[in-house]
Amino acid sequence: MSEKQPYVRPLSAESRGAAPGRGRLAGRRILVVGGGQQVVDADSDPVGNGRAMSVLFAREGAHVAVADRSAEAGQATVDLILGEGGKASLIHADISREDDIVRMVAAAEEDMGGLDGMVLNVGIGVGGLGLGAVKANEWDTVLGVNLRGPMLCCREALPRMAEGGSITFISSIAGLVAGSRLPAYDASKAALGGLMRHVALEGSRKGVRANIIAPGLVDTPLGRRATQGRPSRGTAPQFFGRQATGWEIAYAALFFMSDESVYVTGQTLAVDSGLTGIS
């Protein structure tokens, strides 16, 4: 008798990005920072987290400002939204530049007539593996994008945010457990927790919520590129027998952007098939 095959979580309509919108964000104005995606293989790339969130928010009735350092990638996301009859605009901005961030947030508010939500889907990991391979300039570069950038976004957006708004940081389970072997990346993602809680505290004065989503292994173009550099990533155990899809991360973000999470703030949600909770 052959051994029982491991369980593989089936892909639902939501997992595949095929579920219809339900009006959960009708009338909302949301800025998605990092709404484009990298290209690894244009013919086979799955959807990235930022693009999936942008498209999903628009399907749910939001006007989405798609910000990305690649105008081409951001415009591709905008075109997908417009092609589905949604509302979207492009803002070309580099989160490593303070002037770009100031301009980006102001433009989003002006283009959409206000700001109800912001998702910070940014993060880089550079350098060699382990502490011995860390270079000071690479450390500064990573923290500049992964931590300083989100801080500046919140500094600019929080005063403009409508009452009852929502800010969601896309972090990583690397901020909860050791694993990426990139010390600057892990440290920056862990530090987002402190920033998020401070934003939640200040935001509470007008009902603005702040939360973190910490994805586990996700099948995105960026994830596939990371696996190319570290093949062991692709063989890591998964309780559901597969990696997450970008759409599954997007639905977690949709929860935080919607009124379904109106009493949730200052929290971190790991979307990782239980890797950080039961392994």
Q: Give the pLDDT confidence of 171-227 residue by residue, as tens digits.
A: 999 999 987 889 999 999 999 999 999 999 999 999 999 999 999 999 888 777 766
Q: Identify the pLDDT of residue 235.
A: 61
The verdict on residue 58 lying in a domain is yes
The verdict on residue 196 lying in a domain is yes
The pLDDT tens digits for 113-162 are 999 999 999 999 888 888 999 999 999 999 999 999 999 999 999 999 99
Q: Identify the pLDDT of residue 40.
A: 81
Q: Are strands 117-120 and 218-219 parallel, antiparallel or unpaired?
A: unpaired
Q: Identify the pLDDT of residue 61.
A: 98
The pLDDT tens digits for 31-78 are 999 999 988 888 888 999 999 999 999 999 999 999 999 999 999 999
Mean residue pLDDT across the chain: 93
The verdict on residue 24 lying in a domain is no
The amino acid occupying position 271 is: V
Vertex 71 angle, CA 101 and 218, to 5°: 85
CATH of the domain at 195: 3.40.50.720
The verdict on residue 12 lying in a domain is no
The verdict on residue 11 lying in a domain is no
Q: Judge whether 250 and 52 are in contact, CB under 8 Å.
A: yes
The verdict on residue 188 lying in a domain is yes
Q: Identify the pLDDT of residue 1.
A: 41
The verdict on residue 14 lying in a domain is no
β-partners of residue 128 are: none
The verdict on residue 170 lying in a domain is yes
**Sheet of strand 268-271: strand arrangement:** 87-92, 63-68, 29-33, 117-120, 166-170, 209-215, 268-271
pTM for this predicted structure: 0.93
Q: Identify the pLDDT of residue 12.
A: 96
Q: Identify the pLDDT of residue 233.
A: 59
Query: Known catalytic residues?
Result: 185
- Residue 236 pLDDT grade (very low, low, confident, very high; cuts 50, 70, 90): low
List the domain range (segments joined by +) for residue 168.
29-274
For the chain, how many structural domains are there in total?
1
